[in-house]
């Protein structure tokens, strides 16, 4: 396989040595990490395993990962770069052609321009046209000032079939451009009865107040339209276009970004009006999510600005679910340490029929996710207008995640009745059990004890019982004991012996096992992309030992996160030809095993992921121990302390993963 040939020809120490000044220390090499700022080296390259790892910023991988990260290359390009160096020929049918690139840029520029022209037209309509009277009245009724109308560029789409279209066609745009820009629909695609026969397209937005949506750089990429009167749907957003990717854009982020940095906080609300009003009254660190859920892509962007994420979603029942979902997305995306977060069902902790083992190890480091508490039944914009000080206080005193669970999970229970008390304990103890920090955990036990006036000690005992009970119930996880009834965990021994993947030594065998787990996981994901969310909270690309499986995982994940709505490029198109053999191998790995139902797939995928994470952590543990010993021998006290500290961190993560493993079923 071409990747193996390249890796055999290129030495990772040599390659990294071109960029980082490496100093030999024992069997490894160390240097200053090129990916984060540091004064003492925590970047290590291991010649034996041909891997590198920075114990400061936790980046690591093989020579491919290094080249990709250091040069900012896609895998495909890193492959071409390294292949050329190694003198290996790689076939690449799909290398991008510069002419095509230029063409796409030109199309995008044109789409930006048509959106910009549409914005001006919508805006003028709202300001001046007689038919916008109702829209202006609505704006006023929601308390939006004329300053805000101007700054946010609000507009109005008349309730007619072809007003914007005929204007833009008159400006020289083609019908195709209007459709591609998300401003018009093709008349043949339905919904067009009753319109005048003036052209082949009709307006996408009709009878709506228009909120222009901009990218981070302030360029208009799409629109959100709120129905005036009882038009349906109430909110209509631009369709997916070359510019507008619904699940990655945050409304008002362009205007909020400076304030977010300044306040070191971002407040996420649900509605456009909420965001506009929040800005109008001075809380400019506010953005709105477009669509119903916060996705990892949203968080990716915010991460660059702040690690303080405050969710201010609707306080009603539906909103509470959205909030929980938002929390999980938020947690998932702020990485490095792992924190187990249950996949809580909307009502109660877990639905009866939900497959067990649905606890994801969320990644959360310096992120602080909290939830804004607002009076029930009031939207943020109403609260702001009624009593700004209430809002301002809520924004500066949001509820930490666990405290939020304390409130959300106890709503509607009578805490004075014995039944209510035990129900509260039943719902909250599992949450408390998942806090890895002991001091914090004790504090929450105390809080719960006070809440239901029960002796703290008995709660501690109950907590132990809860944890033990789950442990007993879930014994057999990760292949120690056979599972009742159905096939259960893929035992490493049950894999067919691998071919062509290295020698059969002790080390090689464990590496082979690991690679087989990776194949199996990739195979499962290929078979059922819906498994992705169960897995991506547990592992990230870096946990893969195989270069090929790592890249496939990366592609699968990005395709899944982009969603089916944006069918720009399918998985098949994204896979470099060099990886097709791996795809086949992974599929075969799944096919050679007994078929699984949905819950079984989830279980296997979670188990694979957990095992991969654990193996990776154990590998880091071994490397670290070795480095500690080395520093000890060299009498390097500073390094020793640093490494010990990192060792503790790895241990903490291992404990977290183990305790979550016990919570899984």
Of 57 and 127, which has the nearer Cβ to Zn ion? 57
Site residues for Zn ion, window 548-607 (CB under 5 A)? none
Q: How far apart are CA 350 and CA 362, in angstroms?
A: 17
For residue 191, the surrounding DSSP H or E stretch is none
Least gap, CB of 285 to Zn ion (angstroms): 29
Report in angstroms how near the CB of residue 260 gets to Zn ion at its nearest.
Answer: 25
Nearer to Zn ion, 115 or 639 (CB): 639
CB 45 within 8 A of CB 13: yes
CB of 56 to Zn ion, least distance (A): 4
Q: Toward Zn ion, which CB reaches closer, 179 or 627?
A: 627
| Helix or strand run (H / E) with residue 37 | none
For Zn ion, which is the closer residue by CB, 58 or 308?
58
Q: How many residues bind Zn ion (CB under 5 A)?
A: 6
- Tell me the closest approach of the beta carbon of residue 55 to Zn ion, in angstroms: 8
Distance separating alpha carbons of residues 532 and 559, to the nearest angstrom: 10
Distance between CA atoms of 278 and 137, rounded to whole angstroms?
A: 20
Minimum CB separation of residue 627 from Zn ion in Å reads 15
Cβ 56 vs Cβ 66: under 8 Å: no
Phi, psi of 92 (to 5 degrees): -140, 95
b (16+ CB within 10 A) / e for 585-611: bbeebbeeeeebeebbbbbbbbbbbbb
Closest approach of Zn ion to the CB of residue 40, in Å: 11
Q: Of 26-34, 114-122, 424-432, 564-572, which segment contacts Zn ion by CB under 5 A?
A: 26-34
Which of 67/168 has CB closer to Zn ion? Answer: 67
Minimum distance from CB of 544 to Zn ion (Å)?
19
CB of 276 to Zn ion, least distance (A): 41
Comparison of 516 and 639: residue with beta carbon closer to Zn ion: 639
CB 121 within 8 A of CB 167: yes
Q: Smallest distance, Å, CB 36 to Zn ion?
A: 4
290: its two tokens: 């477009």
- Show the tokens assigned to 398: 């949001």
x-or-dash pattern for Zn ion, window 35-74, by CB under 5 A?
A: xx-----------------x-xx-----------------
Q: Minimum Å distance from CB 65 to Zn ion? A: 13
Whose Cβ is closer to Zn ion: residue 37's or residue 232's? 37
The bridge status of strand 43-46 relative to strand 51-54 is antiparallel
Question: CA distances (Å), 113 to each of 84, 108, 226, in order?
Answer: 41, 9, 23
Measured CA to CA, the distance from residue 564 to residue 551 in angstroms comes to 20
d(CA 544, CA 541): 6
- Nearest distance from residue 67's CB to Zn ion, in Å? 16
d(CA 98, CA 103): 9
Nearest to 300 by CA among 36, 558, 72: 558
- Assess contact for 216 and 252: CB atoms under 8 A: no
Which range in 28-36, 490-498, 545-553, 618-626 contacts Zn ion by CB under 5 A? 28-36
Task: Supply the DSSP symbol for 288.
Answer: E
Site string for Zn ion, 501-540 (x = CB under 5 A): ----------------------------------------
Residues 6+ apart with CB under 8 A from 132: 125, 126, 156, 158
Q: Residue 66 Cβ, how far from Zn ion at the closest point, in Å? A: 12
Cβ–Cβ under 8 Å, residues 15 and 63? yes
Span interacting with Zn ion, options 27-35, 87-95, 296-304, 594-602, rule CB under 5 A:
27-35
Residue 291 tokens read as: 């669509």
Dihedral of CA 379/382/386/387: which sign?
A: positive
Helices (H), 187-334: 253-263, 272-280, 296-303, 317-333
Q: Of 56 and 326, which has the nearer Cβ to Zn ion?
A: 56
Residue 174: CA atoms inside 13 Å, Cβ hemisphere, count? 5
Residue closer to Zn ion by CB (options 307, 350) is 307
Which region, left, alpha or beta, applies to residue 596 given φ > 0 means left and ψ of -120 to 50 means alpha?
beta
Residue 22 binding Zn ion, by CB under 5 A: no
Q: CB 396 → Zn ion: shortest distance, Å?
A: 34
> For Zn ion, which is the closer residue by CB, 30 or 427?
30
Q: How far is the CB of 307 from Zn ion (least distance, A)?
A: 18
When the beta carbons of 71 and 171 are compared against Zn ion, the nearer one is: 71
Contact 22, 31 (CB under 8 A): yes
Q: How far is the CB of 474 from Zn ion (least distance, A)?
A: 36
Which of these ranges, 5-13, 32-40, 116-124, 593-601, lies near Zn ion under the rule CB under 5 A?
32-40
Nearest to 149 by CA among 127, 132, 164, 131: 127
Our finding on whether 388 is near Zn ion (CB under 5 A) is: no
3-class secondary-structure state, position 615: helix
Nearer to Zn ion, 62 or 379 (CB): 62
Per CB under 5 A, contacts with Zn ion among 103-142 are none
Contact flag: residue 33 with Zn ion (CB under 5 A): yes
Q: Which is nearer to Zn ion, 35 or 138 (CB)?
A: 35
Of residues 36 and 176, the one with the C-beta less far from Zn ion: 36
Query: Smallest distance, Å, CB 642 to Zn ion?
Result: 12
Stretch of 25-33, 135-143, 488-496, 657-665 contacting Zn ion, by CB under 5 A: 25-33
Residue 443, number of CB atoms within 10 A of its CB: 14
Strands 28-31 and 43-46, how do they pair? antiparallel
Full strand arrangement of the beta sheet holding 208-214: 155-157, 208-214, 220-227, 235-237
Cβ proximity to Zn ion, 56 vs 207, nearer residue: 56
The 3-class SS string of 428-451 reads HHHHHHCCCCHHHHHHHHHHHHHH
Helices (H), 570-597: 571-574, 580-591
Residue 58 or 295 having the CB closest to Zn ion? 58
Q: Give me the residues that bind Zn ion (CB under 5 A), please.
A: 33, 35-36, 54, 56-57
């Amino acid at each position: 396989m071409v990747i193996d040939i390249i890796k055999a020809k290129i030495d990772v120490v040599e390659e990294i040595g071109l960029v980082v000044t490496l100093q030999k220390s024992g069997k490894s090499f160390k240097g200053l990490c090129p990916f984060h700022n540091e004064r003492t080296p925590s970047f290590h390259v291991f010649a034996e395993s041909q891997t590198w790892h920075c114990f400061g910023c936790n980046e690591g991988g093989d020579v491919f990962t290094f080249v990709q990260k250091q040069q900012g290359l896609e895998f495909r390009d890193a492959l071409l770069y390294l292949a050329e160096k190694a003198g290996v020929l790689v076939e690449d049918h799909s290398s991008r052609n510069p002419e095509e690139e230029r063409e796409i840029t030109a199309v995008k520029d044109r789409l930006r321009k048509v959106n910009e022209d549409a914005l001006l037209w919508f805006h003028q309509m709202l300001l001046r046209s007689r038919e916008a009277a109702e829209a202006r009245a609505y704006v006023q009724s929601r308390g939006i000032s004329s300053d805000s109308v101007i700054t946010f560029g609000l507009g109005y789409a008349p309730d007619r079939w072809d007003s914007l279209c005929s204007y833009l066609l008159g400006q020289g745009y083609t019908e195709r451009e209007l459709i591609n820009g998300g401003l018009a629909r093709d008349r043949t695609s339905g919904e067009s009865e009753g319109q005048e026969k003036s052209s082949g397209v009709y307006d996408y937005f009709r009878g709506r107040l228009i909120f222009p949506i901009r990218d981070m750089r302030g360029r208009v990429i799409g629109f959100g339209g709120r129905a005036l009167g009882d038009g349906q749907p109430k909110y209509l957003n631009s369709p997916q276009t070359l510019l507008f990717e619904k699940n990655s854009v945050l409304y008002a982020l362009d205007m909020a970004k400076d304030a977010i940095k300044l306040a070191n906080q971002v407040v996420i609300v649900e509605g456009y009006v909420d965001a506009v009003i929040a800005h109008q009254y001075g809380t400019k660190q506010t953005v709105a999510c477009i669509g119903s859920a916060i996705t990892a892509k949203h968080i990716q962007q915010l991460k660059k600005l702040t690690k303080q994420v405050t969710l201010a979603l609707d306080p009603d029942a539906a909103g509470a679910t959205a909030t929980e979902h938002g929390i999980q997305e938020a947690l998932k995306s702020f990485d490095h340490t792992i924190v187990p977060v249950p996949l809580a069902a909307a009502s109660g902790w877990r639905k009866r029929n939900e497959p067990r083992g649905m606890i994801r190890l969320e990644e959360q480091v310096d992120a602080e996710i909290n939830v804004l508490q607002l009076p029930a039944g009031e939207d943020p914009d109403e609260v702001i207008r009624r009593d700004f000080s209430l809002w301002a206080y809520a924004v500066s005193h949001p509820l930490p995640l666990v405290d939020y669970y304390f409130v959300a999970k106890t709503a509607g229970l009578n805490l004075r009745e014995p039944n209510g008390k035990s129900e509260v304990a039943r719902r909250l103890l599992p949450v408390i059990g998942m806090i890895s920090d002991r001091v914090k955990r004790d504090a929450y036990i105390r809080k719960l004890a006070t809440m239901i006036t029960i002796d703290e000690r008995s709660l501690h005992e109950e907590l132990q019982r809860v944890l033990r009970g789950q442990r007993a119930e879930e014994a057999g996880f990760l292949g120690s004991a056979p599972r009742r009834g159905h096939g259960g965990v893929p035992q490493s021994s049950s894999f067919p012996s691998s071919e062509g993947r290295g020698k059969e030594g002790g080390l090689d065998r464990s590496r082979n096992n690991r690679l087989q787990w990776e194949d199996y996981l990739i195979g499962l994901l290929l078979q059922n992309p819906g498994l992705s969310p169960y897995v991506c909270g547990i592992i990230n690309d870096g946990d893969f030992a195989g270069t090929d499986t790592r890249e496939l995982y990366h592609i699968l994940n990005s395709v899944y996160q982009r969603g089916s709505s944006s069918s720009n490029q399918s998985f098949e198109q994204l896979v470099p030809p060099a990886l097709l053999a791996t795809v086949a191998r992974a599929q075969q790995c799944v096919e050679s095993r007994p078929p699984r139902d949905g819950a079984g797939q989830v279980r296997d995928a979670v188990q694979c992921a957990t095992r991969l994470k654990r193996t990776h952590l154990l590998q880091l543990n071994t490397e670290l121990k070795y480095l500690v010993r080395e520093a000890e021998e060299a009498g390097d006290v500073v390094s020793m302390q640093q490494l010990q500290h990192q060792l503790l961190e790895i241990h903490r993560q291992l404990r977290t993963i183990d305790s979550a493993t016990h919570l899984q079923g």
